[in-house]
Amino acid sequence: MPAETPEDFWHENIKKYKQQQPQLPVDSFPQNLIVTQLMKMSNNDIAIFRGSLKRGDLILISYPTNNKVVKNFIGLGIGESEYRIDNNTEIFPVDYPDQMNDDFLFSLLVDSYGWRIKDYGDLSQY
């Protein structure tokens, strides 16, 4: 039976990751990226950020905003077109017990993985 809403889709599909040991694989998670522009587009159950990288690729970042239902994770897609990032998002489990927020996400990316986020905006409230 297909999910009725995007939130149902996320909750149903993320269940398969619940049994994994939550950790962020260092070898496959990109490091030292320069994100020239990043915009928060949505904040309902799943926070969604869209942006661009220094070399012209597009980036998509997502994480759950309520961890009472799903395990904490970061979804990350990088590609030269929106189709590629929308359909090739990789899930990285995160061992984080509290509700995730933008401050935690940016601290993880900048402090742990050496990302530089040059321009950030928030359109999720509109």
Two tokens at 34?
């320069």
- pLDDT, tens digit, for every residue of 74-108? 999 998 888 878 888 899 988 888 888 999 999 99
CB atoms within 10 A of CB 10: 18
Q: Is the pLDDT of residue 23 over 60?
A: no
Distance CA 4, CA 84 (A): 24
Q: What is the mean pLDDT of residues 38-60?
A: 92
Label the pairing between strands 116-117 and 34-44. parallel
Sequence spans of domains, the chain: 6-122
Tell me which residue has tokens 């590609």: 79
Q: Is the pLDDT of residue 68 over 80?
A: no
pTM (predicted TM-score):
0.75
Identify the pLDDT of residue 61. Answer: 96
Cα–Cα nearest to 48, from 39, 57, 56, 37: 39
For residue 122, the cross-strand partners are 40
pLDDT score recorded for residue 123: 94
In which residue are the tokens 């995730």 written?
A: 100
Query: Is 60 exceeded by the pLDDT of residue 3?
Result: no
Average predicted confidence (pLDDT) for the chain: 82
